[in-house]
Structures are given as C-alpha cells and as structure tokens.
Structure 1
C-alpha cells in the first residue's frame, strides 16, 4: 500500500492524485514434472524440493553467485565449530528468526530455536514419516537416533521425540550440537539443504498430521498461497521474513556475477512478491507459453526446440531481438536407467545376469540419443559421478559410454540368450521368453526415448514392453521394488560425489537405491569414503567404485545434460543454480518492460 504523500511546500494540500500501487511482481514459469508435496521429510523429487527450498530454511546456504560453490551461514550465526576428528559439530542459531504466521500459533510469533532442528532431524528416523532420505541421514552415524527408530519398530509404539539423544541436541535455546560415531568431513553439506533439512515447527506437524504435505510452514522467504495438485502452485512473499539483503561473492573474473552484485547489492530480499508455477509436462505448450509471454522463465528449454532456439549453439536472432536471455550450463546431473537387482529377469549377480545387463548397456546407442533426441544438448556419462562434484574428471573414460552391438550380441550368445523357439526374439537360457518391461510416462517428452531404446533392443533381438504411468506413480512403484527397469535423472544437491554413490549403496535400498543393488565390496568402499577427507586416497577409492559399477552394470549411466534456460527481458538477476539452492529471492521483475497481461 502506498504511503500518503506529504503536502507541497507552503502547506496547501496537493491536488495531484496519489501514486498508483505498484503492480505485483510475479515470477511465472512451469515445471515439466508434477510435484509430490511439500513436507521436507517426505519428499525426494527435484520439483517438490525446489518449492520446499524456498519455504523452509537450512542452517547454511550456497552463495548465489559463487562458482562452483561457497557455503555461508543462513539461519546459523556463523560457520560451525568442528572438532579435529570431524565428529562433533556445534552451531549457534541467529535469534529473532520467526516462522510464517499460521493458525496453529494462535496469533503469537513463533521463534525458530535449536530444538526445531532437533525435531526436524528426528522426523527422518520416525518409521511413520516414511522418509525417502532416511538412509542418507542414517549413514552419517548420528549417535542414538537409529536406536530410537529400532525401538519404535520393535515396540510398535510412536517414535519417542522427547527422548534426548547424543547425536543431535539443543545445548540451549540457540545452540545446536551434532555428535557422530565416525568422522564426517563433509557433514556440513547436509546442513545446507532447506529443501530437505529445513526447520519445521513440531506443533505444525502435529496439528496437520496426515496432511503435512499440504501445509508447509517455514521461516523462509516464501509461503504457500494456493495449490492445485499437478496443476498450479502459487507462493507469496512471507511478510514476516526477516531483513535479508542481497550480498554474494562472485569469483574473481566472473564478469556476469560482478555485474549482478553491482546492480543488486543491498536490496532487501526477496525482490519479487509471488511465484506461480504451472505443471506442463508437454514441451510444446511450455515453449508456446513462453513465446506468448505468459511465462517469464523457460526453466529447461524442451530439447525438441533446441535447434529452433539455439541454432549452432547460439540464441536465435529473432529471440535475441526480443531481448530474450540465454543461460546455458552443463548440469550437475546424470540420466540413467536402473535395473531392479531383485527382478528374476534382469537382477542378480551371476555371470549370466551380469552379461545380460552389460549387453543391454552396450546396445544402447548414446551417441544417437545425444544427436537426434537431445539435439546435442548433452555429453556422454562415463559413470555415476556428475559434473561440478568432487571426483568428476572430464577425461575419465569407461565402457559405460561404449556402443558396441557386436560385443553385446556376442555376450548374449555366450551365456545362452538365444532364439530357442524360432520367433526371431532371444529367449532366456532356460527357454522362457526374454521380455524387458520398461517403465515410462505417457507424454511426448518420453516417447522419443522409448522409441529409440526399442530400436536399439530390436537390433539386439530383445523384446521390450513399455509400461506407462505418471512420474509420481512410477516413483512410488520404484520405491516398492515393483519396476524392472526405469529411466530417470538424478540431480546433485551437494558438491560431493558421495550422494551419487548412495544410489547404489546396499543399506539405501528402497530409498535412494531404487534398484536395490547390494555388493559388499562396493558398500565397503562407500563407507571408507565417508570418513576420509578429500585427497588421493579417497580419489583412488572412487575410481574403484566406478570400475565395480561398470563391471556389474546395476545402472546404465547415459548422459550429463546441458540445460538451457530462457528468460524474458523483464526478468533480471536470474542465474541457474548448480545444486538445489534457492534463486527466487535473487531475481526481480522490471515492471516497466512487462507486457499487458
């Protein structure tokens, strides 16, 4: 609301009309996959986590402009005090941070305290929460938490949130301490994700029991205003958000980052009033909506339009004349398909099962996928390790990226996967039909990949059957171990390779390890890497892990994507985040350039 104007000099009242209110600054864009909900402890999918990262707050954040990354305090008052053995982490929380208003608080301001982070972490261990990231936190070895979980499972009684544990304690109202069974040099990364380890208020979770996915209440810059599931998500500026001002540290020589800092330094965050996210799975309507100026940001240019928007890798002249801006990066992700290692057809560790998976991998034509389907907006993946994470080497080469149909056929012939009944398709060694069931989604984005893979398997002589369901349903089935093979992407949310390795870690089966791969030698390497500081010894173990995964082929890593975002000329300040850090507060809308809407 505009403040009343002062009368002009001389005291006479002004006859000029009061200035009109500024139009609402709304960031409008689309997700290409539906969200699942907004309870940090119950989600793992990227798109839900983008929302929760802006509603809930972690102790630390990634600097918006630093590349590749830099961590800085968020709700914490300073960087943590860490013991020499990396087993004790003590953190002071800033006083005067408050949760967004909610009827649960009965009109009172609810301050964030250390106990909120204690409770929020315990929720991942509560069997009733069914937290998909439970395995991630379990591996950190927080003292006493696993025992609480086991007690709840054994007694079939509610999880005891009131029982103190050594692993996470509030030393006083604003001091939080974590104690770990073993050294964890990179534990800090777990504390920098508001998308998952953002503070929740216990009274909110208990008041909305069974509906916490619909009622996110955090201390962050935005709050949920409206939600039509799988259709529209609207968030508005949190009016109770504390005073936070634009400040960042671009790397020396980063001219784009330095220009953004010079332009926005000192501005109060967030700079926009609201965010409206549509769910549009098909590429064409997302593309057309952006061209029609209905969206301010085209977050992930549909690959089928890459040659139209980016001929020869540069923004098209007609788009450039309109002032449309291009943001292009090699993403810290990997796409892959996983094999269900408990499936009787493709699972198992015997030589014949390993040969089948390796043959399928060798018959998958990644070069054609990149050229034809991805329009050259990707590079071949050599392993699970993604760009921008520790241990990634752009010169590393493995069999994972090989396309060799002759070798694939020879492998199947050697292990008895031949056509026994004369119908033109290979059979299992025991004579039963060999049929691969591939999970997919019923949208135009998935169809070209399904067709390409069918072409590849046809050449190998292997039948495939496509099983379609919406992405959230496939995720649910995957967690239950009900899919044979599923292709999906995995984005790194931290700058370390360990999170990617968790996708194959045995104790994470049913959580991040959707394919239920269990190999003791690999698990041993994983555990040793957890305790070691970054250096040559840890790097050597990482290479051993990569070789094991190539040999057993529980997952076929396909590509690292080049992601391209397009922004309208009135959207200013955008920069594609490498990890799942926040970006909404750092962008602004130049209302003078907005078209009529």
Structure 2
C-alpha cells in the first residue's frame, strides 16, 4: 500500500508540475543550444550587496558573481585553503598580526555602464575599498564585527570619526591596518594576533571585491546592480520570483584544479574525474526560481522543470524511503547526495526582552524550562522527516570545537523537570485559563516568530503543544525572512529560530554569536556576560590546540547554562539532481558551486 501511494504521488507530481505556471520556462531547443541549469531556493532574496545581506539566497547569488581572494578546494576534506583571485596564499607574519595579499593580474570585472566602456581590471585597492564599506555608518550591516573583533588598526577610529562628525565616511583616509601597497598587493595589520584571520578572505560574504565606480554610480540601489569578477553576472531579476545569471564574458581562463578527493568518497571522486582538465564555468546560464512551499518545489523537480533541488523534508519518506532513492526516481536517472555537519538549526531568546530575557535565576530557569519542555526529537521525526542529527550545542560536527561526547539539556526532553523548575522559581501561579504567570503575578506570554510556510506552521503547532503541556502561553507572529532579519537586528523579536549555513570551518563564528560587542549583529540573542566575553577573547588569540579547545568548551558550557540559544539539530541536506547534471558537490563552506556544475544531454 505504501509503495502504491508513493508511485501515485510521484506520477501526480509530474502531471501537476507540467500543468502549473513555472517561474523559468525553458524550451527544449534552448536546452540544446545553451547549457542552462534550473534550480530553486525556498526563500526570497533580499538583494545582492554583500555587506547588507545574510540570507542564504542572496549570499549564494552574490557568491557566484563576486569573488574573495581565497577559496576552499572543491574536493579536499578536511578543507584546504587555496587562491581564487590571489596569486597565492597570503604572506602571514609569525605573530598572526600582519597579512599581505597579492592579487593575480589580468582579472576583470564584468562590463557595466559605470566603467564608461572600458575594461576594468581588479586591483588591490578594490579589496581595500570593499572592506572599508563594512565600516561606513551609512551601510546597514550585521557583519562589521567580523573585522572589528579582529581589530584592524585604524578602521574603527575612522568609523567613529564619521559617527561623531555626522559627515560622510572618508574612504580616502589612510589607515595603518588596511592599505594597498601597489597595484596588486594589499596588507592588513591587526592590533592582536588572529591565527584564523585568513579564513575570512575565503568567504564571499565578507571579503569579495566590488568596484568603487559601481557603488558610487548606483548609490542606494547598489543591491540591484551586482558587478563582480566571478564566473556569472546578473542577466535578469524578477524580485521574489526568478533570478537569471549568465556566464560572465569577461571571466578569466580558469581550469579545474584540486588536490583530490579523500579515498572512499564516491561522489567527490566521480566529480573529480568529470571535471579534470575542464575550463570553468561550464554553464551558460543559471535560472533560480523562488518557490517557498515544499510541494510546488517537489512537483517542479519531479515533473522535469528543475534540474537541481534540495529535497524538501516533507517528501523524504516518498523520495528516500528507508534512506534509499525511490525506485521510480532511480529509473529516471535522478542522483541523490546527502550531506551534514556544518549547519546548525536553533532558536534564540532575546535577553533584552522583559518576558524571557535577563540573567537572574528565575529568568534562566524559565529559558531552561522552555528548552526542557520542547522536543527536538519530535521536531526531527515529524517536521523534518528524520532529516537531521540531534544537537547538543551550537557547534556542529565539521566545526573546530565540536564535542562529540557532549550531552546537554539542549538535547533533552523532560517536561516533568520543566514543570518542577517553573514551580520552584515562582512560576506556579496561574491565570483564569490555566497559563502560568510571572513570579510577581504579571501575565507571561511567549512570542515566537517565523515565516508563513507549511513547515513553519508545523513547527508552531509543535511549540504550542509542548508549551501548553507545561502551562506556558505561546503566541506566534509571521513575516518574510527579510522582515524578520530587520526585526532581529533591531531587537524586536522575543524568540525566533533559523538555520546558520556556516562559511568557515572554525567555531569562532558560532561562539561569537554570544559575544557581547556583537549584539545587534551576529549576536541576535543580545547575550551580555563578561565571563563569556573574556573566554571568547582569550580563545581568539590562541593557535588551534588543547589550550584553545579548553577555553572554547568552557564558553560553550556558559552558553548552555544561560541558554541565549536553544540548539535544535544539525540538518541533513539531500540534494537531488536530474540525470543531466554533472559536477555537483555541496561544499560545506563555499557557495559558488555553480561554477563547477555542467548540464549534458541526458
């Protein structure tokens, strides 16, 4: 009976997908004439100006248009840094405070009217300008802390000068910590050692180059005019609907190179054999549809209207019964690739919120009770269809600092203990409807934010059931992802949950989400604890090793004790490719995977 239902569903999928309106109709003749990859994202883009975006859709689009100096080898595991626009790896001083990057000559931006008909070469000054943009008070960014925490000499002072004088940020003012040495070399100087600072320059989010002429030409509309040196450029854009990237005709000659895949990783070995000796990129265009709901996404893929989709968890039991590709999909040549270990799904509590915030014992007890009352295992089983691993802390398996043997309250479900905590710390009074009140007798209402999707509705139903079981009233508010980000940065949400898709193999970023000075940026919880801050600052200065790990583990335990964040799970992502797709591999830390993907006549 189960097999019959599955076959019926997949047959219906193909028929319905063919009947429904598609974001990106591609005629068969076009598929022969051009190599076009059709894929999707489940949330709308915010824009393409990297300092001002953090959502996965926007960052992925921009990462295929803009380029940082460094990247990670596509196949190597553990990950290996390698040059991208740089001529080689940077020169690094013994004290990890001085870095010199040399940019390869002959790299050009894609054409744009801002260049007045001339080819525009990438130069060192472009990286200097691009980093300075994070310090410009006029640019609303949540990423400034990436450089401020590293203490780049002189840039914070330059920003403060602009804030005090209320004048425009002076991009031409020299600073000791960031300057171009000549046309192709720039240096960065830090006030304190940072042994992992170079990884920042492998992240398209933080270290990609943009041309000053383009920024000045488009002003506040720069987010709609991405002009980079990457393999693709923006061809067309229907907001929240369809984004089309096309091959950048100015892209340099880049041949695929890799140190090779680890033995026994069949997908990576296969990809390495296919890409060997090929010139990148292989695609002519990438069409990205924004399809927020799971069912339409799956229907489009099953009906042949998408080539690449991250499998919606709602169809996991139909598409991957018992963890194996369904026979009818296998017969169609569909390829399924599972990966996990670098992402973390979590909720945060706004510690400045009068309902759930604060550091007194009763407020900590309230957050502990919420965590103990919720059921991460039920979320994984019912909402995620088993497509996740249990989380015990905010540091996932592929991240330096992860503790595989750690067991914490974050991974427990103990509603009886949750009720005992609430009673013990004064939340034993009830209102007329039976919901708990604050110890002072005032009303207690939890508010959780989310998007208006089927999956979020399922999560909210689970949260409501679990909180009702311990007598906590919970209400919900919904908005788009972009609106929620703005509210989070302004401290206007009480509780919200999402997934961080990490861009670096180190746990510093995730611990930085609890660092006090990062409040209003990556620290959505607005956690302010001097003891934690001291641990965080000390571990940043140390090279990897036992001493640093011990400090990271102490910091992790403080986060688990005060619970500004509630770790839920480490997502398992299953990417499904049509029979025509070649070269696809989900790298845990890079987002420019389309430069390696090919479409063949299947």
TM-score where L is the length of structure 2: 0.93
User: Which residue is 2:501 aligned to?
Assistant: 491
User: Which residue is 2:295 aligned to?
Assistant: 284
Deviations 1:350-389 (A, max 9, x none): 0110000000000011111111111111111111112211
Aligned counterpart for 2:519 among listed residues 492, 509, 517: 509
User: What displacement does 1:22 show?
Assistant: 5.1
User: What displacement does 1:21 show?
Assistant: 11
The answer to whether structure 1 residue 269 and structure 2 residue 246 are counterparts is no
User: Which residue is 1:479 aligned to?
Assistant: 489
Aligned counterpart for 1:294 among listed residues 302, 305, 329: 305
Deviations 1:11-70 (A, max 9, x none): xxxxxxxxx995111111110011110011111122111011110010001111112311
User: Which residue is 1:521 aligned to?
Assistant: 531
Instruction: Give the distance between the partners of 1:447 and 1:230, measured in 2 at CA.
Output: 21
User: Which residue is 1:581 aligned to?
Assistant: 591
Greater fraction of residues in helix: 2
The answer to whether structure 1 residue 91 and structure 2 residue 85 are counterparts is no
State whether residues 54 and 195 of structure 1, in contact with CA within 8 Å, keep that contact through their aligned partners in structure 2. Answer: no
User: What displacement does 1:263 show?
Assistant: 2.1
Instruction: Give the distance between the partners of 1:454 and 1:488, measured in 2 at CA.
Output: 18
Deviations 1:321-361 (A, max 9, x none): 11100110114111111111110010000011000000000
User: Which residue is 2:362 aligned to?
Assistant: 352
Instruction: Give the distance between the partners of 1:505 and 1:21, measured in 2 at CA.
Output: 50
User: What displacement does 1:116 show?
Assistant: 0.4
The answer to whether structure 1 residue 387 and structure 2 residue 386 are counterparts is no
Q: Which is worse superposed, 244-253 or 407-416?
A: 244-253
User: What displacement does 1:250 show?
Assistant: 2.3
User: Which residue is 1:403 aligned to?
Assistant: 413
SS of 2:269 mapped into structure 1? helix
Aligned counterpart for 2:551 among listed residues 514, 531, 541: 541
The answer to whether structure 1 residue 462 and structure 2 residue 475 are counterparts is no
User: What displacement does 1:421 show?
Assistant: 3.5
Instruction: Give the distance between the partners of 1:262 and 1:422, measured in 2 at CA.
Output: 68
User: Which residue is 1:259 aligned to?
Assistant: 270
Aligned counterpart for 1:193 among listed residues 203, 215, 234: 203
User: What displacement does 1:140 show?
Assistant: 0.8
Instruction: Give the distance between the partners of 2:270 and 2:390, measured in 1 at CA.
Output: 33
Deviations 1:531-575 (A, max 9, x none): 100000010011101110111011111100111111000011111
State how 1:164-313 maps to structure 2 within 5 Å: 164-253=174-263, 254-298=265-309, 300-313=310-323
Instruction: Give the distance between the partners of 1:457 and 1:142, measured in 2 at CA.
Output: 45
The answer to whether structure 1 residue 156 and structure 2 residue 166 are counterparts is yes
Aligned counterpart for 1:136 among listed residues 146, 154, 157: 146
SS of 2:207 mapped into structure 1? coil
Gaps of 5+ in 2: 1-29
User: Which residue is 1:442 aligned to?
Assistant: 452
State whether residues 41 and 133 of structure 1, in contact with CA within 8 Å, keep that contact through their aligned partners in structure 2. Answer: yes
SS of 2:464 mapped into structure 1? helix
User: Which residue is 1:374 aligned to?
Assistant: 384
Instruction: Give the distance between the partners of 1:252 and 1:378, measured in 2 at CA.
Output: 24
User: What displacement does 1:196 show?
Assistant: 3.0
SS of 2:146 mapped into structure 1? helix
User: Which residue is 2:83 aligned to?
Assistant: 73
User: What displacement does 1:394 show?
Assistant: 2.4
State whether residues 340 and 346 of structure 1, in contact with CA within 8 Å, keep that contact through their aligned partners in structure 2. Answer: yes
Instruction: Give the distance between the partners of 2:249 and 2:404, measured in 1 at CA.
Output: 45
User: Which residue is 1:5 aligned to?
Assistant: none
TM-score where L is the length of structure 1: 0.94
User: Which residue is 1:363 aligned to?
Assistant: 373
State whether residues 136 and 502 of structure 1, in contact with CA within 8 Å, keep that contact through their aligned partners in structure 2. Answer: no
User: What displacement does 1:577 show?
Assistant: 1.6
Larger radius of gyration between Structure 1 and Structure 2: 1
User: What displacement does 1:272 show?
Assistant: 0.3
State whether residues 51 and 205 of structure 2, in contact with CA within 8 Å, keep that contact through their aligned partners in structure 1. Answer: no
State whether residues 571 and 587 of structure 1, in contact with CA within 8 Å, keep that contact through their aligned partners in structure 2. Answer: yes
Q: Which is worse superposed, 413-422 or 535-544?
A: 413-422
State whether residues 110 and 228 of structure 2, in contact with CA within 8 Å, keep that contact through their aligned partners in structure 1. Answer: yes
State whether residues 360 and 408 of structure 1, in contact with CA within 8 Å, keep that contact through their aligned partners in structure 2. Answer: yes
Gaps of 5+ in 1: 1-19
User: Which residue is 1:25 aligned to?
Assistant: 35
Instruction: Give the distance between the partners of 2:578 and 2:450, measured in 1 at CA.
Output: 32
Supply the RMSD in Å over aligned alpha carbons: 1.4
Number of equivalences? 573
User: What displacement does 1:420 show?
Assistant: 3.5
Instruction: Give the distance between the partners of 2:75 and 2:212, measured in 1 at CA.
Output: 34
Instruction: Give the distance between the partners of 1:542 and 1:326, measured in 2 at CA.
Output: 36
State whether residues 120 and 197 of structure 1, in contact with CA within 8 Å, keep that contact through their aligned partners in structure 2. Answer: yes
Q: Which is worse superposed, 213-222 or 331-340?
A: 331-340
Relative to structure 1, the CA distance from residue 421 to residue 375 in structure 2 (aligned partners, 3 Å threshold; closer, same or farther) is closer
